[in-house]
Structure 1
Amino acid sequence: RKDFLRQRQPDHRALHWVNGVQACSCTWGEVLELLEQGQDPSALAHGHTGAQQWLEDWRALDGLDEEEWGGLLLNAHQLADPYNLGDGKAAVTIDSLAPLAVRRVWGLLLPVITRVEVVVLGPDDGAAELGLLSREKLLLRNLIGTDRMREVHRVAGAAGVPLTLYLFGEGPQNAGDAGKGIFTAHESAGRILSFSMPPDPVIHKGDVAHPGWMEKSYGRMLPGFVVHDVGEGVELSGKMLSQNVVLPGWSVDERGFLSES
């Protein structure tokens, strides 16, 4: 795990957050030192709930067995491979109330792989905190979280900070949300399984261009999952799963879109 973190330059910024009206950050070197020395994350986080949780998530990740670690890492690579989610320029913003699998895969591992910085919004943080970081010249693009991020997304957009919001646990995709840059995703069994995405860039398959989202679906399955129809649902297998996952009442169409039947 520590070797994985050493992919990043120790003096590069890892995490940003806002404490009151103060923009704070820590480096990858500080995160690595915390893991190596078993330090208490609260000191590095300066008492910020979201930052402390992000650091504690790293400590928990460091303590996982090899199988679970490997599965999560594969899941992060699934997320990174076909989609332009990390360009090394724009920071990814994580809602600290997002499900654990989302925080681990999208908030911890993907930023290392795609070389992006992370912003964490604690339970009481919102658009004002993002606005402060934006004024500090931090480039923001993707917002990942729960339904409470809708208001953050709306206010930030109105203030000239356009973000793409990826929602977990909030029902299927609809066209109205897609038009506003809000896309649904699904996680289960400790892995991110699927997500909708903006129509640009379009994924090309053969000569036919497919949009990145579909009404009433939870987006496309990530590449690498093997899908089997079973009775009244689907069963998923793959190297990123410690055991097969059965989703009763769900289906995957020929284009890979996951839907609740």
Structure 2
Amino acid sequence: MTTYAFPPGGQPDQSGNPEGTAIFTEAYAVLPAVTMRDITTSYLPGWINTRLWVLARPLSGFAETFSQYAVELAPGGGSNTPEPDVEAQSVIFVAKGGARLTLGRDTHELRPGSFVYLPPSAVWTIWNTGDEPCGFHWIRKRFEPAAGITPPEARVTHEDDVAMSPMPDCDGVWSTQRFADPFDLRYDFHVNIVTFLPGGRIPFAETHVMEHGLYVLEGRAKYLLNKDWVEVGPGDFMWLRAFCPQACIVEGDERFRYLLYKDVNRHMKLGPVR
């Protein structure tokens, strides 16, 4: 059975060592799972019995396109008015427990591995109708219009129904599950699951215009961020600005997987003519 990491919550006792592995630089940030505790949660208007960890938010001069939350619904928790921004589109990926999503007139029972794309102005609600907490990742981005382009339709699917696409020349040890067609220009961001089998790696330092949020779902790896190699594991979050070099090498005999955000398919905004 596939399991997906989620923030642990709780609170370490007084024997804990406060010298941690969290990093924030001009090029990247690493938020280890151990930092996602009860005292670092946030609460939102319009949501009841709900708490969340804000993992990324637009910051001028850093990563500016998206926000990413890890949301925990207690039994009976949820919202009838979840999204305050009519221009925002979003993705939900369920990590633990279950929730009932209404989308227009349709109802969907979500479970671990469920994936939802919600276009701007979508009418939706989400509630935990079970007896255990539900945890999901919620990634939000304002839709960027382009001539002749309309937002994609809402979509509800599951990881099990999305094929692995192996990367070239890697003997199948590096693959991506793409929840949106990469050639469909209606999408101005993608959220994928990237999987490396033992022995897998990114064999060069990628450097590109896309911003990234990477939440480790399982396994361990050494990850290159700018000029630094960091060790990451389940529940750790990496946050990269554009052009930050990155690569990874899987450690151990377990597969390494992460949920990946990236912005795509739009012209670069230009500053004023001087």
Fold-level match, TM-score > 0.5? no
TM-score of the two chains, using structure 1 as the length reference: 0.29
Taking CA–CA contacts closer than 8 Å with sequence separation of 6 or more, which of the two structures ends up with the larger relative contact order?
Answer: 2
Higher helix residue share: 1
- So what's the TM-score if we normalise by structure 2? 0.28
